[in-house]
Every structure is written in C-alpha cells, then in structure tokens.
Structure 1
Amino acid sequence: MSYEPPTPPADLSTELVKSLNKSSLDRLQDIARYAEALAEHKEREVRLEEESNEVDAEERPDDLPDDVPAKATITIKEINDNRYYYWQWREGDKVTSKYKGPVNPDE
C-alpha cells in the first residue's frame, strides 16, 4: 500500500475533493458506505428499466404505439362531458399519458 494519498477521479469537482480531504475517518467511512449503497441502487434501477424494455413483442398489445412502454395501462378521462382513452404509465415519480382515442368511436 502506498503512503501517498490517492488521486481523485478527474471528473470530481474541486469542492467535493476538498470536502472529502477535510473529512474525518469515520465520516469518510460513512460516505463510502452511502456511495456504495447509492451505486447499487442506481444499478438496480438501470437493470429493472432494461428488463422492462426487453418485453417480448408478443406481450405488447397490437394497438400499443412504439413510444408507449408495455407496462402502460388504459385509463378513461372525462373532458367536457366527453370520455377518452389514454395510455398511462409511471416514469419514476411522474405519470405520463398519451391519447389513444374516444371511448365511443362514433364521437
């Protein structure tokens, strides 16, 4: 093991490097545990997103647009006494909707 301090990654901000260098051993160990847990969490999110994108074409409804994920459900929204179908899905904390068509196609 070298007696020289480690070289920080080039893309870390100077402020972050200075803050880490000033931190106590206990604080650095807490930061390291948190950073590791955060990295694992983000890896899991990426893996789950990739798995949801790998849904077989057979599982997608025939009328599902290409830009709507397979996990989307159909909801009915009433606007000015008219009812419409919308594809709806969650992206993190945000709910996204895409117009499908009127509930009664004669409208």
Structure 2
Amino acid sequence: MPYSDPTSPQNFSSDLAETFEDCSLKELRAVKRYAEALVEHREREARLEEDEDTEERPEEMPDDVPARATLTIKEINDNRYYYWQWRDGDTIRSQYKGPVNSDG
C-alpha cells in the first residue's frame, strides 16, 4: 500500500496547515503535547461549568455568584459579616452578603 501525506482537517485555515507543514518533528511533538493538554483543560472547564449549572442554588444567592460559592464569616472592626466566597482560578473571590445577626 503506497504511503500518502496526511490531509489537514477541513476547518483548518490554509495558513495554519502550512505552519504545521513547516514545523520540525520536535516542534510537531511539542504542538501535539500542547494540543492534548489544551483539550483536557477545555473539557475540564466545560465539565465544571456544566456542574455549576446543575448545582442547587440557595434562594438568597445573587445571580452573579457561582453556585459553588460558600458562605463565610469575616470579622472586621469587631463586627461580623457574611460573604459569599469562591475560587476563580488561583484567586479567591468574595461578595458581601450582610451582617451576622447576634440573635443566633
């Protein structure tokens, strides 16, 4: 069976296909590793977004706070306040909810 060159996917631009054709074997292997890692990352992000959409939201949770947020108490100047808190990548985000009632 004769060997034939692979064809690029139909949705690739000709510039992108030519860029890959000009790459060395070492560069192509690095691109392959990067593309596989990028696919895994995007699939994971999509699953997290899907999970976030299906989580049950407390009624008092604002729309701009993710469903995965937790309620946290912070003490500021001897006063206690509720904050919604969640992780956004490497950053911890907070949004004010209101004062903690001392009545229990």
TM-score, normalization by structure 1: 0.68
TM-score, normalization by structure 2: 0.69
Q: Which residue of 2 aligns with 1:96?
A: 93
Runs of 4+ residues deviating >4 angstroms? 5-8
- 1:66-95 C-alpha deviation (Å, 9 max, x unpaired): 222221111111122211110111111121
Amino acid aligned to 1:98: Q
Q: How many residues align?
A: 96
Amino acid aligned to 2:13: P
The 1:84/1:50 distance shift into structure 2, 3 A limit, reads same
How do 1:66-81 and structure 2 match up within 5 A? 66-81=63-78
Q: Which residue of 1 aligns with 2:44?
A: 44
SS of the residue corresponding to residue 38 of structure 1 reads helix
Distance 1:93 1:38 in 2: 18
Q: Which residue of 2 aligns with 1:29?
A: 29
Q: Which residue of 2 aligns with 1:85?
A: 82
The 1:6/1:67 distance shift into structure 2, 3 A limit, reads closer
Q: Which residue of 2 aligns with 1:53?
A: 53
Distance 2:58 2:88 in 1: 20
The 1:6/1:53 distance shift into structure 2, 3 A limit, reads closer
Residue ranges of structure 2 left out of the alignment (5+ in a row): none
Residue ranges of structure 1 left out of the alignment (5+ in a row): none
The 1:11/1:96 distance shift into structure 2, 3 A limit, reads farther
How well do the aligned residues superpose, as a CA RMSD in angstroms? Answer: 3.0
Q: Which moved more, 1:82-91 or 1:62-71?
A: 62-71
The 1:103/1:9 distance shift into structure 2, 3 A limit, reads same
